[in-house]
Structure 1
Amino acid sequence: MTAVLEAPAPRQQRRRPLAAVLAAVGIPTFMVTLDNLVVSTALPVIRTDLNASLADLQWFVNAYTLPFAAFLLTAAALGDRLGRRRMFIAGLVVFTLASAAAALAGEAWQLTAARAVQGLGGAAVAPLALTLLAEAVPDRLRTAAVGIWGGISGLGVAVGPVVGGAVVEGLDWHWIFWLNVPIGVVAVVLALTVLGESRGGARRLDPLGLLLSASGMLLVIWGVVDGPERGWTSPRILTMLIAGAALLAAFVIWQSRNPSPMLPLRLFRSPGFSLVNTVTLTFSAGAFGSVFLLAQFFQVVQGLSPLDAGLRTLPWTAAPMIVAPLAGLFGDRIGQRALIFTGQLFLAAGILWLGLGVSTTVTYGSLVVAFILAGIGMGLTFAPISTVALASVTDKDRGVASGVNNTVREVGVAAGVAALASIFSSYGGYTTLQSFVDGTRPAVIVGAAVVGVGALAALRLPRRNHA
């Protein structure tokens, strides 16, 4: 996740041990990051238990990512005004209570609603974790602390499918969410006792901007999700798509006229900032949309358990945990543009390999290299994208630039899952093994093409980024 590290204001609060500070911000980060992927491996089991449709499965994912994306900027602004620790703890409490509600869900709509509230809580945790970390540690330890925090975040991505599979196989899918409850309680206690309060510059909120952006994204994604089932030319779908696009256009116009916008459009005057967010969007849509289907492939087609399916995706999801810190360490020497382009090229090649290779008889050995290639590509992309996004704006704009990049990434995840699932349902389905393969192949190939567009955009990034 991208986040901004603001220079801490002078203060006299007592420093806490680094390990305690890392635990206070790292545990919530791990929990929120884990929930992005932990549900993916359990989707086939949840589908059967709750008698859920394909649209329900998409909303189990999108209901979390949509509010997460919509409220990132608002949560960061509220933290600057009301207190970052206060907002961070409020987000943790909401996330923990929503996890309990998800664990108690007995119908598809109940799980979707609980996941949406989880997303609201996560939106308050994600953008404030690194800012609180920067405030809590001295300058000489900050680089090391951020590196460790990045590893914790990568670990959440890596073990998400495995944890989901292990919990479903050993216990029950409800425990995916029950486990968050004691962890959340511990995280709240740590935040209260370890982290100090801090504030940024007081900003006016932009409620109209929030309403326009959130409702516009919701209608567009909803239209994409329901399009294959109801028909792309049906009045309902056309109304959703047109209304959503109109609301997003109104949001852009309002941001250009509002003296205190939640998204200052002047940021996009920087070619580097505009291009790196384009890459972020295509990267998230292509990669996570493909993961949504491939995580189910091993269970639906090959009949593996959720745990075994999660273990087979580990070469993809675990590689960034090793590669990303190295990319951050050597990025200035090699060049951020070169790393991003190479990463997107590797990722597109790996996803394309998987899309062409899936079949009812394919062996795991013929796909494992593709998983590794995709994982290396993701690892080469994470840190350089964050670096370029923050280096493309002035110091005073880095907070909002970080929030924008987070928002673009989460919108990409939601749009990618919706779009590729729509392609899947147009060409196949869950009726037979061959039908699932027939739907997965074109969807994943499109995911590779989307990432490839990002690779081409990366070639246009400036060699050196400065505001």
Structure 2
Amino acid sequence: GVAMGFAPNIGPTVGGAMASAWGWRSFFVLLAALTCVLTLCALVLVKPTKPHNAAARLDAVSLSLSTLGLGGVLLGFSDASSFALSSPYVWVPLVAGAALCVAFIVRQKRLESPLIDLGVFRSARFNAGFAAQNLLFASFMGVTLVVPLYVEGLCGGTALQAGMVLLPGTVAALVLNPLGGVLTDRIGARRVCLVGGLMLSAGAVPMCFLDAASPLWQAVVFQGVRACGVSLLIGPLTQWSLADLPRPLVPHGSSLSIAVRQACASFGTSAMVLAISAGQGIASRGGLADGLRYAPDALAALPYHLAFGFSAVLSLCLLAAIAWKVR
């Protein structure tokens, strides 16, 4: 939870500071250096271990189907922000990716030792937690992109200011993720998740009404509140969804949740970018010849209202799912 809450928020802050001081290419130099350090650490520190099941083998076909299937779907959604929905750059990867995902599911049902045992879906509790985690990641990951776009594109702020708006979420992740785990162990997941869901919605809904005239402190407060909600949800939802699975199925449920929720995070981000692109098209047809940055009216803010609104709807759906299912 600390990793998932900390990294998306500290990245724009560090990146904004580096872009302001040394240019935007400097951040990619840092990423390359960190990748080299990570690779060296993995080679030195990650020791080989004996497998729990010596007969188990990696099914390369299943791995390829899942990678290409999810990749194709995400590519289609990403291209939808740049091309018309009727463009082959959109529907070809979408159709191909969906077909490969179906083929992956069919193959898992036929294998004696599947890459992912789909028996995890026999648990109603896992299904509810799985859906809730996907809504959570689709809601909050994309906002870490939309907020900097809003600050720089509509408000005329700097990259550093955009990163500072996300900084409270970094502090929240460091403090509230462990606290959420402690509280879940003591009072149960339901009350912790309800508080987290309420905070996420309380921060997400007001962001739909931000415009160029809104002071940046409002964006800081709203984003900080929603970040606190996210930090109280990641760990408890994960623990609650896996707790009902038989022990041999826990690794399968965990792996599936991690893979799909990351895909949903990318889907949410793509959908928000698509909403911004659609809103900019509407605004341009409304006669904003000078561009969004210099038009601080309701029409100029429409692209960001649509993106923030999409995130808010997902947050409210998550709150409803928690209230209904998490016990």
TM-score (norm 2): 0.86
- C-alpha contact (below 8 Å) 1:347/1:375 kept by paired residues: yes
* SS of 1:392 mapped into structure 2: coil
2:245 pairs with 1:393: yes
**Which residue among 269, 273, 282 is the counterpart of 1:421?**
273
Q: Which segment is superposed worse, 359-368 or 272-281?
A: 359-368
What residue is the counterpart of 2:313 in the other structure?
Answer: 449
What residue is the counterpart of 1:156 in the other structure?
Answer: 7
Seen in structure 2, the aligned counterparts of structure 1 residues 241 and 165 have a Cα distance that, compared at 3 Å, is: same
Distance in 2, Cα, partners of 1:226 & 1:177: 23
Distance in 1, Cα, partners of 2:216 & 2:92: 43
What residue is the counterpart of 1:405 in the other structure?
Answer: 257
Residues 91-106 of structure 1 correspond to what in structure 2 (within 5 A)?
Answer: none
What residue is the counterpart of 1:165 in the other structure?
Answer: 16
Q: Percent identity at matched positions?
A: 27
2:58 pairs with 1:205: yes
**Which residue among 256, 261, 269 is the counterpart of 2:122?**
269
Per-residue deviation, 1:462: 4.9
The one-letter amino acid paired with 1:173 is: W
The one-letter amino acid paired with 1:402 is: S
Residues 431-450 of structure 1 correspond to what in structure 2 (within 5 A)?
Answer: 431-433=291-293, 434=295, 437-450=301-314
Distance in 2, Cα, partners of 1:404 & 1:391: 15
Per-residue deviation, 1:237: 3.2
The one-letter amino acid paired with 1:440 is: Y
* SS of 1:459 mapped into structure 2: helix
Per-residue deviation, 1:184: 4.6
The one-letter amino acid paired with 2:278 is: S
Distance in 1, Cα, partners of 2:14 & 2:180: 26
Distance in 1, Cα, partners of 2:196 & 2:142: 17
Residues 7-406 of structure 1 correspond to what in structure 2 (within 5 A)?
Answer: 150=2, 154-188=5-39, 190-191=41-42, 194-201=45-52, 202=54, 203-227=56-80, 229-234=82-87, 237-356=90-209, 358-406=210-258
Distance in 2, Cα, partners of 1:181 & 1:234: 34
* SS of 2:237 mapped into structure 1: helix
Q: Which whole-Å deviations, capped at 9, do the CAs of 1:374-397 have from their partners, x for residues lacking one?
A: 011011102102212331322222
Superposition RMSD in Å: 2.4
Per-residue deviation, 1:427: 1.5
What residue is the counterpart of 2:287 in the other structure?
Answer: none
Distance in 2, Cα, partners of 1:315 & 1:386: 23
Per-residue deviation, 1:363: 0.6
Q: Which segment is superposed worse, 312-321 or 227-236?
A: 227-236
The one-letter amino acid paired with 1:456 is: A
Per-residue deviation, 1:153: 6.1
The one-letter amino acid paired with 1:449 is: V
Per-residue deviation, 1:438: 1.6
The one-letter amino acid paired with 1:178 is: V
TM-score (norm 1): 0.62
Seen in structure 2, the aligned counterparts of structure 1 residues 246 and 198 have a Cα distance that, compared at 3 Å, is: same
* SS of 1:230 mapped into structure 2: coil
Aligned residues: 313
* SS of 1:237 mapped into structure 2: helix
- C-alpha contact (below 8 Å) 2:62/2:108 kept by paired residues: yes
Distance in 2, Cα, partners of 1:380 & 1:314: 17
Q: Which whole-Å deviations, capped at 9, do the CAs of 1:41-88 have from their partners, x for residues lacking one?
A: xxxxxxxxxxxxxxxxxxxxxxxxxxxxxxxxxxxxxxxxxxxxxxxx
The one-letter amino acid paired with 1:371 is: Q
Whose relative contact order is higher, 1 or 2, with alpha carbons under 8 Å and at least 6 apart? 2
- C-alpha contact (below 8 Å) 2:169/2:224 kept by paired residues: yes
